[in-house]
């Protein structure tokens, strides 16, 4: 029978139906069977030998970034939430640090801007490239940005990709650091037309800000708002780290500065949504270890309010959570479904059973270590992955995500479709 399998099938004909009936029989409870089947029957014995001709969702990509030894990277690694391991992906055509990434409506991952091995001035990039998870190939036909930039935020909203702020050369200027500036300008990508266009400006210039989509529900998977969190207002001058957030509503077409601020000014922090209105903000320059949960409330009358307002006195707008064990900056965060806390094996609900919504904090660096003999400060980069459990509103003591193969900072992080290659 094995020789008769077709590559387009998951398994031998008839086995899929038998597996479904077995699961249904297990869930409803069969009085004629005294003992239930252990989860490992499904996850280790059956699921391990399935193969998938269509990429699966909930895969985490770490794209590009900067490594202490190798500088800007073309490296792309995917965390496989089916097997619980990191896998190498085809490298990008260009080394990119300070880049950003977001998902396209067709499932492709668009990587935007950054800088290459020539540095933040001469290596400034306007180019973009798209990873096709079906073909496992990079497409280089994506239109370039209107304005090259690095240190920008990026997120998808209702099928379009928004690029927010960052650093760039002044228009028409020579490639010198003296002519670099921090941007208020934003751009939006129309995948159908393959065109970047200017979008509404921020109220304040921001580089190192994190941009996330809020208001995502089952009825509105595309999201409702963009939020730009923190950042630095003048990277090449008298820089000030920002405690402010701005909210963009595509229905009104402009950014609004929120009244409530972060408890601590932050740039290059890790930021991800906990739900449709709460945001986890972690770390940031200079090597902060503190974390907080911020609850977003749009100003009345300025934006169309899609949030469910709760005016309870005991609900804080900015709540403190436990700090990380050590500070990190240049890190990134993303919302990801993972196995429940304590589920380290398939018998206790481990991979590929990912039914707990979490936030993962990936990479970054700590620049606080000093060599007292030589008076130098060393930067230590991380490949570890921290996990915040949204069910318990607490950090997990043991991360279910192993370290990335490559330590790095200023990487791009994205959750989307990923291809599996059978049992590992």
Among left, alpha and beta (phi > 0; psi -120 to 50; other), residue 272 is beta
pLDDT tens string, the chain, 424 residues long: the values are: 233 333 344 455 566 666 677 667 766 666 666 666 666 666 666 665 566 678 999 999 999 999 988 999 999 999 999 889 999 999 999 999 999 999 999 999 999 999 999 999 999 999 999 999 999 999 999 999 999 999 999 999 999 999 999 999 999 899 999 999 999 999 999 999 999 999 999 999 999 999 999 976 555 566 789 999 999 999 888 889 999 999 999 989 999 999 999 999 999 999 999 988 899 999 998 889 999 999 988 777 666 655 545 444 334 444 568 888 888 999 999 999 999 887 654 444 588 889 899 999 999 998 754 443 444 556 789 999 999 998 888 899 999 999 999 999 989 999 999 998 754 4
Query: Residue 126 has which token pair?
Result: 């306007």
Query: Residue 90 has which token pair?
Result: 């085809």
Cα-based angle 322, 326, 332 (whole degrees, multiple of 5): 85
SS3 label, residue 42:
helix
Q: What is the pTM of this model?
A: 0.85
- In order of their start, the domains of the chain are 2-37 (no CATH), 49-304+312-418 (2.120.10.80)
Query: In whole angstroms, what is the distance from residue 185 CA to residue 209 CA?
Result: 13
Q: How far is CA 390 from CA 40, 147, 157, 204, 293, in A?
A: 26, 37, 23, 31, 11
How far is C-alpha 343 from the chain's CA centre?
Answer: 23
Short-list 105, 49, 112, CA closest to 421? 49
Ordered DSSP codes for 114-142: EE-TTHHHHTEEEEEEEEETTTTEEE--S
Q: Which residues, at least 6 apart from 278, have a Cβ–Cβ distance to it below 8 Å? A: 293, 294, 295, 296
CB 420 within 8 A of CB 82: yes
Residue 31, strand partner residues: none
Ordered DSSP codes for 335-348: EEEEPPTT--SGGG
Query: Residue 353 has which token pair?
Result: 């059973």
């Amino acid at each position: 029978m094995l020789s008769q399998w077709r590559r387009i099938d998951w398994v031998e004909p008839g086995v899929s139906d038998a597996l479904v009936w077995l699961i249904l029989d297990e869930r409803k409870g069969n009085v004629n069977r005294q003992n239930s089947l252990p989860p490992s029957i499904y996850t280790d014995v059956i699921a391990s030998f399935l193969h998938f001709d269509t990429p699966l969702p909930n895969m985490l990509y770490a794209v590009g970034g900067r490594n202490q030894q190798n500088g800007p990277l073309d490296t792309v690694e995917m965390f496989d939430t089916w097997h619980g391991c990191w896998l190498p992906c085809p490298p990008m055509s260009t080394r990119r640090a300070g880049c950003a990434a977001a998902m396209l409506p067709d499932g492709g991952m668009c990587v935007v801007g950054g800088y290459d091995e020539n540095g933040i001035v001469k290596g400034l990039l306007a180019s973009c490239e798209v990873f096709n998870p079906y073909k496992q190939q990079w497409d280089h036909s994506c239109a370039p940005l209107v304005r090259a930039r690095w240190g920008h935020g990026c997120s998808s909203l209702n099928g379009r990709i928004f690029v927010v702020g960052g650093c760039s050369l002044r228009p028409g200027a020579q490639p010198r650091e003296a002519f670099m500036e921090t941007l208020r300008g934003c751009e939006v990508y129309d995948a159908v037309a393959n065109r970047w266009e200017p979008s509404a400006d921020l109220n304040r210039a921001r580089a190192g800000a994190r941009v996330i989509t809020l208001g995502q529900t089952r009825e509105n998977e595309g999201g409702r708002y963009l939020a730009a969190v923190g950042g630095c207002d003048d990277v090449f001058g008298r820089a000030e780290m920002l405690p402010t957030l701005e909210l963009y509503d595509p229905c009104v077409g402009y950014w609004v500065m929120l009244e409530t601020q972060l408890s601590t000014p932050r740039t290059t922090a890790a930021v991800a949504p906990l739900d449709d209105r709460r945001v986890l903000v972690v770390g940031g320059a200079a090597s902060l270890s503190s974390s907080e949960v911020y609850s977003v409330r749009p100003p009345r009358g300025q934006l169309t309010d899609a949030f469910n307002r709760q005016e309870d006195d005991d609900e804080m707008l900015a709540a403190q959570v436990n700090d990380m064990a050590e500070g990190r900056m240049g890190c990134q965060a993303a919302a990801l479904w993972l196995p429940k806390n304590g589920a380290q094996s398939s018998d206790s609900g481990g991979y590929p059973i990912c039914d707990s919504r979490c936030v993962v904090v990936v990479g970054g660096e700590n620049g606080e270590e000093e060599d007292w003999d030589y008076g130098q400060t060393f930067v230590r980069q991380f490949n570890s992955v921290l996990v915040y459990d949204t069910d318990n509103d607490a950090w997990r003591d043991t991360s279910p995500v192993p370290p990335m193969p490559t330590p790095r900072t200023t990487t791009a992080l994205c959750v989307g479709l990923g291809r599996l290659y059978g049992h590992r």
